Amino acid sequence: MSVNIEIIDHTMHWIAGRQPAIADYPALVALMKKYPVACLDFLSCDEPLSHYMRCALPVRIEAIPCMAELSRIGLSGHRNIAIKWKHGQGNTGDLSELLDVTVDLFDQVFLKLTDAPALDNTTLGNYVNLLESRHVSGLIYCDDESRLEPQSVLKRLRHLRQKACCALEFCGGNAHGLATANTFAALCAGITRVHTSVGGTEKAVGAAMEEMLMCAKRFLRMDNVAHTENLASDCEAIMQTAQVEIPLNKAIIGKDIFAHESGIHVDGVIKNPKLYESIEPQEVGLTRRLVIGKHSGQKSIRMKLTEWGFETTDELTDCLIAQVKQIAAKQQHALADSQLKDLYDKTARGFLLAPMGCGEVC
């Protein structure tokens, strides 16, 4: 039987906080349904987007362990709940009574252990036994305080999987920049339900959805992530709803991640793209680009000009390199394609008018 990734999304909650226009919601639904999103998590049943989204995708509301609050959520029409619980905030007897009532109110009930990494295996096992005895849907292993690193995640979750029959999820914090690595470790441990947000925008849930999808596809060969050829543009469209631009160097989906400037890089990419690219640009809907700047050499400029059908000579190329480096240093970034084309036109014309060479032109 194949094992597939299931995304627990926090992007929609984050977007709801930025109050997009209601007209944007159908487009959001269509984009999210293209990927293996099992559930959309919201922090409140008062968010209008949570009511709209539940018509198209499963929505789950996170709630404090308070019977009045849980009843209010149930009366709002939501059928899935995640109770946030920190070990020591109350006794297990109170939790047990709360779960008894909650499982009758909702279709799915999860317990979100916000300080799970602080608990030893015996204590975690007691929680699992309690949940299974009360027919609770599952446990969310949450690393809110970013205590863990990948090896610890792998070891702890493998042990937990051996003990638990209920569904397990992993939700990693990103205080130390390890959310993606820790979430991938959770996938490797067999925890297929993982919490993410597009671009890693929801800082409390730092794992980026697009990075987890590509990890599942490329490293774990999960079948339900076959079509990612529009991943970059889909993520960009989702982020535009919240009027947020994706950084150009954002892993997997940034428009500049397949841009190469250094002569050594360009030479390597020409000979074997896998030397510098772990995935092919087309796999996520991007294209490889040669960027001409202060680190560029003859091979970079020749290849760029060849792409445009422009002819050049060694002497003309050397002259262009000298000017490119000067311009790039002055403006402190690489040249735009339009700049290079203008520079080529002026320099090439200069060569025709001054056949003595570059010294007469540059």
Cβ–Cβ < 8 Å for 105, 71: yes
Task: Classify residue 227 by burial, with Cβ atoms within 10 Å: 0-12, 13-18, 19+.
Answer: exposed
- Find the distance separating the first CA and the last CA of the chain, reported in whole Å: 67
Element containing residue 301 per DSSP (H, E):
helix 298-307
The residue with tokens 């697009």 is 210
Cβ–Cβ < 8 Å for 108, 60: yes
Cβ–Cβ < 8 Å for 298, 324: no
Q: Where are the domains of the chain?
A: 6-226, 291-361
Identify the pLDDT of residue 295: 82
| Sign (positive or negative) of CA dihedral 356, 360, 361, 362 | positive
Identify the pLDDT of residue 127: 96
Alpha-carbon distance of 218 to 279, in angstroms, equals: 8
Identify the pLDDT of residue 1: 45
Identify the pLDDT of residue 208: 95
Identify the pLDDT of residue 353: 53
The whole-model pTM stands at 0.86
Alpha-carbon distance of 225 to 213, in angstroms, equals: 6
Q: What 3-state class would DSSP assign to 228?
A: coil
C-alpha separations of 136 from 102, 158, 188, 279 in Å: 9, 21, 25, 40
Interaxial angle between packed helices 209-218 and 179-188, expressed in degrees from 0 to 180 and rounded to the nearest 10: 40
Tens digits of pLDDT across the chain (362 residues): 468 999 999 998 888 877 656 556 778 888 999 999 999 999 888 877 777 777 788 999 999 999 999 999 999 889 999 999 999 887 788 899 999 999 999 999 999 999 999 999 999 999 999 999 999 999 999 998 999 999 999 999 999 999 999 999 999 999 999 999 999 999 999 999 999 999 998 777 779 999 999 999 999 999 899 899 999 999 999 988 888 899 999 999 999 898 877 667 777 777 888 888 889 999 999 998 888 888 888 888 888 888 888 988 888 988 998 998 899 889 988 888 899 999 999 888 777 655 544 545 55
Instruction: Enter the CATH code of domain 6-226.
Output: 3.20.20.70
Alpha-carbon distance of 62 to 47, in angstroms, equals: 12
